[in-house]
Each structure stands twice: as structure tokens, then as C-alpha cells.
Amino acid sequence: MAAGHTGAMLATIGVLSVLSASGSGPMADVEAGGEAEWVEPWDEPWDGAVFRSPSALGTVGVAQSRGSQRPGKDLPVLLWWSPGLFPHFPGDSERIECARGACVASRDRRLRGDPRTRALLFYGTDFRASDAPLPRLVHQSWALLHEESPLNNFLLSHTPGIRLFNLTATFSRHSDYPLPLQWLPGTAYLRRAATPLQERAEWRRRGYAPLLYLQSHCDVPADRDRYVRELMRYIPVDSYGKCLQNRELPTPRLQDTTTATTEDPELLAFLSRYKFHLALENAICDDYMTEKLWRPMHLGAVPVYRGSPSVRDWMPNNHSIILIDDFESPHKLAEFIDFLDKNDEEYMKYLAYKQPGGITNQFLLESLRRREWGVNDPLLPNYLNGFECFVCDHELARLDAEKAHAASPGDSPAPEPHIAQPSHMDCPVPTPGFGNVEDIPENDSWKEMWLQDYWQGLDQGEALTAMIHNNETQQKKFWDYLHETFMKRNQNL
């Protein structure tokens, strides 16, 4: 999801409820094979329903409060500064009930200077330095929801950018409200039976390649097409998207993106005949894993993966995916895929997680059990509502600590501000998908676009930090940058 993220994220999440203090289902006995089984609404045989984007944006329904339907007059206010996340509730404000108590979630910007407004909430893709609500008020926390990659906003990949915020909900396990498994509904999604090898062998005899590539978003920060183009020199790859396309999808309906999405059941049945799927994320960040990884595993294909450097931590077992970066060259990778393609016994080891007891990664199982939100689950809050309540609870606790300090300064210290850390994004400088950056010509579209955007993000972060800390020299740099950006934009219109 990138430039067209709003459209891509308009997927139904289901009826939402407000986060309660309860967690996921209880742990049960551990199977002999080492896989912990536990009860969840989704943990039954997958019914074949289309898996929808778990994004917070979209037709999210109405946040229902357990108490009065009128927002409370004396409750802490959480002000959403990102209009792209609405409609989120009817009207301008809504009372929400959370574990520690109640707050008011609002989108009414007139409340920004109100002393009851304790937190400003931002959606990272929409956050722009030019729209930052300055001056920043000392009694307010800034909270960031940004489950997307840095492709959408490089400012947040830099220390000055991320440290503008007090609280975060990102794909990183190190963020305050972690969302690394936002694309994985549960273990049943992984256990779906794979297409039989005999059917896949017939598919190969009909002239199809062993390896599938399906991408229509080209020239991304991870520069994935450059690697795939080199890999194609050594092994057949069927590419169906706009990027490196060499085959057409089987029917006009599937070829038309207005009538078929990447989660269309007919399309998934078609994709499931391939033994290997190239799964390359649009950016490289720790814990950033999307449907590009989980969908092939759901279908019973082996992901040939490049993305999160920490991906091994999250796999169902130690033999689930092929990591591109384990191979010294695309040629060596092609040789290994060819070996597995011709050796069914070795290939099936990569699908062992689909068997009883095959999911042995206790970290993955425990992470699924402990998360407080669900993916397309009407019985659990989605992470947008969960994040609201996380911020609400934090502000209620901060208020209590401030009151205790005011009543007895000697016994109760003033609460220390909580500051976000670079590890809450952890996305390094973009690098070429294949080859060295020095060997790529200056007019290369990837080099022009993403390296420039990365360093502009750093400039924005430093300038905005300076504005907050009232550094006169850096303030001028910030306004000069905004003026230059505005002028460029006008020239392009």
C-alpha cells in the first residue's frame, strides 16, 4: 500500500467494539508436537472467506460506547488530527470506555487549545510538517498510528521525526502499541490445506513457471523489480502485475482491477497452483511484514522473501520461507529453487507448518494470543479503536500521576515524558534491489525518487524539531523548505 493507500485500504473490517480490559482466549494444553493450541474466534478450519485488509482505514462502522452516548464534559479529550481516518464515529466527538475509564475521542480542531485535550492523535501517512499543530502545548501528548511502511512518509524513519511523538502504534514490536501481525488473522489462516503436488505438477507441464510474481506497484523503496529482473535470467518467472509483466491473468474479470482484487477467491485459486511466490516488501524495516508474506503461506506456496530482517522471529517454524538474502546472488537462489522444484520431499518440508503440531514457534503463538485486537473479527476491537483506548489509558494514568504530584510533591515525583524511539520504525536508507548504488545512473527513477525522499524526510524532521524547540536558524530552514516544496508543487500543476 503506497500512494494509493486510501483506496487500497477501503476494505471492510467488520462491526467494531471498544477495547475492553480482556485479552484473547485462554491457553490450553501444548500438543506433543510443541504447538500451543488456544481458543480464538478465528481458530477453526478456515472457511475460505476472502481475507480483507486489516487496515484501520475503511468502512469501520461506529465506535459504540458502553456509557452515555453524550461525550462527558470533564473527560480527557483525544483529538484526531488526521481527517483521513474518518468517518470513524458519528458527529465530531464520541465517548469511549476503556480499561482505566472513559475519554472523549474527537475530530473537532477547535478543541486543540482546550485544557481538557490531553493528546493529539496522528495517522503517519497524513502527517505533514506544514500541518503540524504548532506551537506544541506542554500538557499534550502526541500519539502516532502508522502501520504502513516508510514509503508513505520518510520523515518518520529518522530520529528527529519519530521523536516528535510520545506514543506510537507501528508495525514494530518495540512500539508502544505493536502491530507486527496486522496481516495475520490467526493460526487457522496458515493451516489451510495446500494444492496437491500432482495438480501443481500438471500446471508445470502446461508451461507455467515454478515461480510467481504479482506486483503492480513498481519503483518502490525496496527496489524489488531490479532484483526480480536479474533473477529472471536464471529461472522462469510468471509475472502478472504491471511490474515486469510477461503473462496475462486467465480471465478478463481478473485482469480488471475494478472487478477483482488480490484477495478475489478465483484469483487465489489460480495463484495457489504455483509452488513458489516471490514475496518482496515495498520497504525494508524490522517487523514490517504484509500480505505479501502471509498470503502465499495461506495458499500453501513457499514465499521467496525479502523484507523484514527479523522475519525469522515470526515464522511458524524454522523451515517456512526462502530468504533471498541468504543467497550470494540471484543465480544461486535460482539453483536452489530449481532443486526444490524437482525434489518433492525437500519441498514439502517447507509446508510442514500446515500439519498438526507443525507450528512450533512459541513467540508467534504467544504474540497472537496476547494481542488485544483482532483482524476482521467482529468479536474483537480493531487496532484503531484499541489504539484510542491505549492512549486514553495512558492519559488517565498521567492525570492521576500529576494530581498525586500536586498533592504531595515530596512523595510523588512529576511524571516523566514518554518519548518515542527510532526502534519504533527502524527503517534504514533505501538500497538497490540488485547491484551497487554507485553503478546506477543518476537519471534512474528509483535513485531519483526514493533516495531524495529519504533525505528530505530527514530535513523535515530536523526542521520541525527545531520549530518545537524554538531554534531561530532551524526555523528559517524549515520555512524555506516549505516554500520550496510549495513552489515545486505549483510548477507541476
Distance in angstroms (rounded) separating the CA atoms of residues 52 and 268: 13
Q: What is the 3-state secondary structure (H, E, C) of the chain?
A: CCCCHHHHCCCCCCCCCCCCCCCCCCEEEECCCCCEEECCCCCCCCCCCCCCCCCCCCCCCCCCCCCCCCCCCCCCEEEECCHHHCCCCCCCEEEEECCCCEEEEECCHHHCCCCCEEEEEEEHHHCCHHHCCCCCCCCCEEEEEECCCHHHCHHHHCHHHHCCCCEEEECCCCCCCCCCCCCCCCHHHHHCCCCCHHHHHHHHHCCCCCEEECCCCCCCCCCHHHHHHHHCCCCCEEECCCCCCCCCCCCHHHHCCCCCCCCCHHHHHHHCCCCEEEEECCCCCCCCCCHHHHHHHHHCCEEEEECCCCHHHHCCCCCCCEEHHHCCCHHHHHHHHHHHHCCHHHHHHHHHHHCCCCCCCHHHHHHHHHCCCCCCCCCCCCHHHHHHHHHHHHHHHHHHHHHHHHHCCCCCCCCCCCCCCHHHCCCCCCCCCCCCHHHCCCCCHHHHHHHHHHHHHHHHHHHHHHHHCCCHHHHHHHHHHHHHHHHHHHHHC
Note the pLDDT of residue 240: 94
Residues 6 or more apart from 373 whose CB is under 8 A from it?
A: 19, 380, 381, 382, 383, 385, 386
C-alpha pair distances (Å), 115 with each of 74, 75, 137, 139, 239: 10, 11, 10, 8, 56
Backbone angles phi, psi at 66, to 5 degrees: -80, -25
pLDDT in tens, 421-452: 999 998 999 999 999 999 999 889 898 888 88
The amino acid occupying position 338 is: D
- Using an 8 Å Cβ cutoff, are 459 and 478 in contact? no
Give the pLDDT score at 286: 95
130: which 3 cell numbers? Answer: 506544514
Q: With beta carbons less than 8 A apart as the criterion, state whether 353 and 190 touch.
A: yes
Alpha-carbon span 353 to 53, nearest angstrom: 23
**CA count, 13 A, side-chain hemisphere, 226:** 19
- Rounded to an integer, what distance in angstroms lies between the CA atom of residue 208 and that of residue 195? 15
Residue 287 · residue 147 · CB < 8 Å:
no
Cell of 287: 517487523
- In this prediction, residue 30 carries a pLDDT of 32
Kindly report, residue by residue over 81-136, the tens digit of the pLDDT. 987 775 577 788 999 999 999 999 999 999 999 999 999 999 999 998 888 998 88
The number of residues making up the chain comes to 493
Please confirm whether the linkage preceding 428 is cis (ω < 30° from 0). no
Residue ranges in the chain whose pLDDT is less than 70: 1-72, 86-87, 257-261, 469-493
Count other C-beta atoms under 10 Å from residue 186's C-beta.
21
Give the global pTM.
0.81
Tell me how far apart the alpha carbons of residues 438 and 430 are, in angstroms, rounded to a whole number.
13
Rounded to whole angstroms, the Cα distance separating 369 from 451 reads 39
CA–CA gap between residue 100 and residue 318 (Å, rounded)? 40
End-to-end, the C-alpha distance of the chain in Å comes to: 24
Dist. CA 379–CA 16, nearest whole Å: 8
* pLDDT at site 6: 33
Residue type for 73, please? K
Burial bucket for residue 217 (CB in 10 Å: 0-12, 13-18, 19+): middle
Give CA–CA dist 145/387, Å, rounded: 8
Cell 468502512, residue?
Answer: 59
Q: How many angstroms separate the CA atoms of 104 and 102, rounded?
A: 7
In angstroms, rounded to a whole number, what is the distance separating the alpha carbons of residues 190 and 490? 48
